[in-house]
Copies of this chain bind each other. A is one copy, B any other.
Amino acid sequence: MPEVTTEIGLAAVQMEPRIGAVVENIARSVAMATEAAERGAELIVLPELCNSGYMFESAEEARSLAEDARTGPSVRAWAALAANRRVWLVAGLNELACGRIYNSAVVIGPEGVLGLFRKIHLWDTENRFFARGDLGFPLFELPFGRLGVFICYDGWFPESYRMCALRGADVICVPTNWVPMPDQPPEREVMANTLLMGGAHANGVFIAAADRVGVERGQPFLGRSVIVGPAGWPLAGPASADGEEVLLARADLAEAVRRRQLNARNHLFADRRQDVYGEISNLAERAASR
């Protein structure tokens, strides 16, 4: 067994799930994650809802494509891959639990399922189908470092990065299905990646975002998956806007903690002024009621 270090291969799998085609989606996700493992990845991120597709026509359809996070067919296939290749996976899952469905990410290691993240901030019609995340931002202790997770629109909220990083995450894995924003200038990198770069820099964390591609029932997706270092700059990608692709970067996760000490006098966490920020929760209440 190889020595455990903090330096790993970190992969983001950009793929095109097909709505409703669970068997094909499992096969494709396993094939691409296997390619990532063969190229040296230990930690592999798959897109949001990569078992089911995204553009549900009804609550019934969404529910019919959901599965249990421990016994469902996608999770079993991914767990087999993780065990065989001795890798860790973070995969977007349409999850059925206690009669509700969640837009979730399942974290799987060689010994099986380690836990779940459930999307905290739901985008647009997801509110019709999914229950809001009720597990907060859990931290996963892996042999090579500490992992946080969020999904897509969660990345619009600086609190998502803060929750993961303050809890101790060295790397945040982001299964996503970015959709075009109306004001995106075509000549500029997608705003999602600006948010990820700034979030990585301001929190001193690695971020690996695996997006989907393709057009599903008229909805185009952005691709542009990216792996960002704790200084905020891309280590791999952004990937293309429309092709399936495995992004891979070498990442020494111990660099995240070091990076937060910006100089002899400044530390990204120690410099926070919680004494000044305390008012945010009151402000938030008032802002939401305006």
Binding site for B on A (CB under 8 A): 120-121, 123-125, 127, 132-133, 136-137, 153, 156-159, 161-163, 165-168, 181, 183, 185, 188, 191, 194-195, 197-199, 201-202, 231-233, 263-266, 268-274, 276-281, 283-288, 290
Closest Cβ of chain B: how far from A179's Cβ, in Å? 10
Whether the pair A280, B231 counts as a contact (CB closer than 8 A) is no
Some 9 contacts from A to B, beta carbons below 8 A apart, are A120-B273, A124-B264, A136-B279, A137-B276, A159-B276, A166-B280, A167-B287, A191-B232, A197-B198
- Is the Cβ of A287 less than 8 Å from the Cβ of B158? no
Which residues from B are CB-within-8-Å of A120? 273, 276
- CB of A252 to closest CB in B, whole Å: 14
Q: Are B280 and A162 in contact (CB under 8 A)?
A: yes
B201 pairs with A195, CB closer than 8 A: yes
Contacts of A163 in B (CB 8 A): 276-277, 279-280, 283
Measured CB to CB, the closest approach of chain B to A137, in angstroms, equals 7
Q: Which of B162, B202, B265 contacts A195 (CB 8 A)?
A: B202
A269 and B197 alpha carbons, distance in the complex (Å): 22
Q: Are B166 and A283 in contact (CB under 8 A)?
A: yes
* Cβ A121 vs Cβ B197 within 8 A: no
The CB with the most chain B CB atoms within 10 A, among A181, A231, A269, A287, is that of A287
CB <8 Å contact, A287 and B159: no
CB of A191 to closest CB in B, whole Å: 5
